[in-house]
Amino acid sequence: MKVLGMMSGTSADGIDAVIVEFAGQPPTLQWRLIRHAHIPFAAELQAEIFACFDPKTSGVDRLCALNFALGRAYAEAALQVIAETGLEPQDIDLVGNHGQSVWHIPSGPQASTLQIGEAALIAELTGITTLSNFRARDMAAGGQGAPLVSYIDTLLFSHPSASRVLQNIGGIANGTYLPGAAGRDRGEQPFAFDTGPGNMLIDDAMRRISGGRQQFDESGQTAARGRVDADLLGRWIAAEPYFRLPPPKTTGRELFGGQYGARLWAEAQALGLSDEDYTATVTAFTARSIAAAYRGFMPEMPDEVIVSGGGAYNPTLLRMLAAEAAPAQVIVIDELGMPSDAKEALAFAVLAYETWHNRPGNLPSATGARRPVVLGSITPGANYRPPSAPLREH
């Protein structure tokens, strides 16, 4: 089966899309990445997404309209990637779309999550059966709805001897601990959690110092020119309760979003930090929070840290992470044959494939769910056939 996976993360910079060919089933699932592409959001659509992130500017009318606008954007992205690959929509069996998270309440009496991007529009405009809304079912089973990528980490990246952390650094950073041979002998199981901010506060810093002209610190150049304020960094780490919460735990823009960036910025301004020093200190905040999560909550420091996501393209962040997580070896996932920013889109292609075959796609040791469950909702496209029958002739 050929599956098209799509993901737009908390940084809301655009849509990552992959086309993957699958055969077999876990634990011997075979996969081949046919294409990966990144389609930036139009400036107007990105601005509307950020407006809907903020309770002060959002509203039911704006969310309603954005849900459909994103559905069209995902459909257009899918058709674009299919065409660029030299395929036709009828060559694709399934679309697995994460959607755009606009709010996430991981626990407590109001535990809930909302990803938007209307699946009915994707199925209608592409003709392809679309799977969506993956996180809600895990939460219905008592989980936090995240991290879901840990299932794919375990499936594809467990090492026969070395312990690993699969560290995704998107807007939020999350790590999946995969025990090595010694850990498995001790009965250790894979588990995962959100370590805290990833690129989100770094991106916020760049928007502030550039007056909105720069959305991210390209290649970590601004941070590289700065000096980390060690005292301020230590205070920031000590002051954040999230870092001391035990897993399972997840977080998002509702904690580490613009309001958090505004507070850090105000503290740095009061101390007279330069733009470069502030960016360096915020970058170090991400690196230290990740490494502190390893020391605080993992059975041992990993032998290897495999980095994916946009943060893998920030050499300054990687250098800081390597120093903080020593003696672990920090490796970019590209070295293992997967493009860094393709991993999460590929994960939702895998989850779509698993759901179609009525197999659970969550890892309860990562999300806190009571049990493994089949994830997501199926929206039939023109190619729909019941799962017991082939979607198309091969």
- From residue 338, alpha-carbon distances to 40, 78, 264, 347 in Å are 20, 20, 34, 12
The per-residue pLDDT for range 37-62, each reduced to its tens digit, is 999 999 999 999 999 999 999 999 99
Average pLDDT over residues 165-177: 95
The residues, any chain, with a CB within 8 Å of residue 259's CB and separated by 6 or more, are none
Give the per-residue pLDDT at 164. Answer: 98
pLDDT at residue 388, rounded to an integer: 64
- Of the candidates 58, 56, 47, 100, which has an alpha carbon nearest to the alpha carbon of residue 77? 100
Residue % of the chain over a pLDDT of 90: 87
Q: Residue 229, Cβ neighbours under 10 Å: how many?
A: 19
Mean pLDDT to the nearest integer, 239-266: 95
pLDDT band at 394 (very low <50, low <70, confident <90, very high): very low
Q: Residue 49 has what pLDDT? A: 97
- Is it the case that residue 393 has pLDDT exceeding 70? no
Residue 143: CA count within 13 A, CB half-sphere: 29
- The average pLDDT across 246-260 equals 92
Tell whether the model's pLDDT for residue 231 goes beyond 90. yes
The structure tokens 């535990």 sit at 111
Average pLDDT over residues 276-286: 98
Handedness of CA 100, 55, 287, 195 (dihedral sign): negative
Backbone angles phi, psi at 26, to 5 degrees: -60, 145
Confidence of residue 389 (pLDDT cuts 50, 70, 90): low
d(CA 95, CA 348) in angstroms, rounded, equals 9
Closest CA to 244 of 174, 295, 303: 295
pLDDT at 155: 87
Please, what is the average pLDDT of the chain? 95
Could you tell me the pTM of the whole model?
0.81
Reported for 237-246, long-range contacts at CB under 8 A and 24+ positions apart, including other chains, are: 237/285, 237/288, 237/289, 237/292, 240/196, 240/289, 242/196, 243/196, 243/289, 243/292, 243/293, 243/296, 244/296, 246/297
Amino acid 392: pLDDT:
62
CA 93 and chain centroid, separation: 24
The pLDDT tens digits of the residues spanning 173-228 come to 999 999 999 999 999 999 999 999 999 999 999 999 999 999 999 999 999 999 99
Mean local confidence (pLDDT), 365-381: 95
Res 314: pLDDT: 97
Over the stretch 92-138, which tens digit does the pLDDT of each residue have?
999 999 999 999 999 899 999 999 999 999 999 999 999 999 999 99
- Give the domains, in start order, of the chain with CATH numbers: 2-145+342-379 (3.30.420.40), 149-340 (3.30.420.40)
- Looking at 27-31, 160-164, 296-300, which range is the least confident one? 27-31
Nearest CA to 94 among 34, 146, 7, 22? 22
